Amino acid sequence: MSRIGNNPISIPEGVTVNIEENVVTVTGKLGELKQEFSDITIKIEDNSVLLSRPSEHKDHKAKHGLYRALINNMVSGVSTGWTKELELVGVGYRASNQGQKLDLALGFSHNIVLEVVPEVKVETISEKGKNPIVKLTSIDKQLIGQVAAKIRGFRTPEPYKGKGVRFVGEQVRRKAGKSA
């Protein structure tokens, strides 16, 4: 029994869900997202989306919960959107952007210039006395997570001083230095 897959997805005001053959299209005030699916039956009843699987096979059980989560993320993405904030912790670490070009100074000999996809909006916040913050907003949860992981991968937080790129609110496990 799939606990996640059996939950219905409620459709908020201003969001439409269309199912054609094996493609789900979700349209809202912020945009439109599409997702292909297979082996799962999707129905729209009483302003909610219901998913069911044909059998108790392991593959069908896995896809049941997966597609329910993906469609739920699409519905909340086109209605409210997704945001991720990354914090640059370290002396001399800076971030700036011009349009979709993100310029990061992370302690390497050259700055890292990243051309961010147009579906993800980039904003940098730099206040005196605080760590620079890179704010990403998009309707696609998978894409925003992938871009955030790529930026974090340039300088992952290290356990001794805690320097690096981390998500806002992320706890970095610290280690003691070498004992004398």
pLDDT higher than threshold 70 for residue 101: yes
Total structural domains in the chain? 2
Considering only CA atoms, give the Rg of the chain. 21
Model confidence pLDDT, tens digit, residues 21-57? 899 999 999 999 999 999 899 999 989 999 999 998 9
Averaged pLDDT for residues 1-24: 88
Q: What is the dihedral of CA 122, 126, 127, 132, to 10 degrees?
A: 100
Which of 20, 46, 79 delimits the end of a domain? 79
Residues 54 and 122 placed together within one structural domain of the fold: no
Residues 71 and 97 placed together within one structural domain of the fold: no
pLDDT higher than threshold 80 for residue 81: yes
Residues 68 and 89 placed together within one structural domain of the fold: no
Residues 90 and 139 placed together within one structural domain of the fold: yes
Q: Do 174 and 160 contact (CB within 8 A), yes or no?
A: yes
Q: Tokens representing 149?
A: 């992981």
CA dist 15 and 66 (Å) reads: 21
Residues 75 and 59 placed together within one structural domain of the fold: yes
Q: What's the pLDDT band for 180 if we cut at 50, 70, 90?
A: low
- Identify whether 180 is part of a domain: no
For the chain, the maximum distance between any two Cα atoms, rounded to a whole number of angstroms, is: 68
pLDDT higher than threshold 70 for residue 124: yes
Q: What is the pLDDT of residue 95?
A: 96
Q: What is the pLDDT of residue 7?
A: 92
Query: Position of tokens 């799962």?
Result: 40
- Identify whether 27 is part of a domain: yes
Q: What is the CATH number of the domain that holds 120?
A: 3.90.930.12
Q: What's the pLDDT band for 2 if we cut at 50, 70, 90?
A: low
pTM for this entry? 0.89
Contacts for 161 with CB less than 8 Å, ≥ 6 apart: none
Q: Do 172 and 107 contact (CB within 8 A), yes or no?
A: no
- Identify whether 115 is part of a domain: yes
Residues 132 and 69 placed together within one structural domain of the fold: no
Q: What is the pLDDT of residue 4?
A: 85
Q: Which domain holds residue 100?
A: 82-167
- Other beta carbons within 10 angstroms of residue 73's beta carbon come to 19
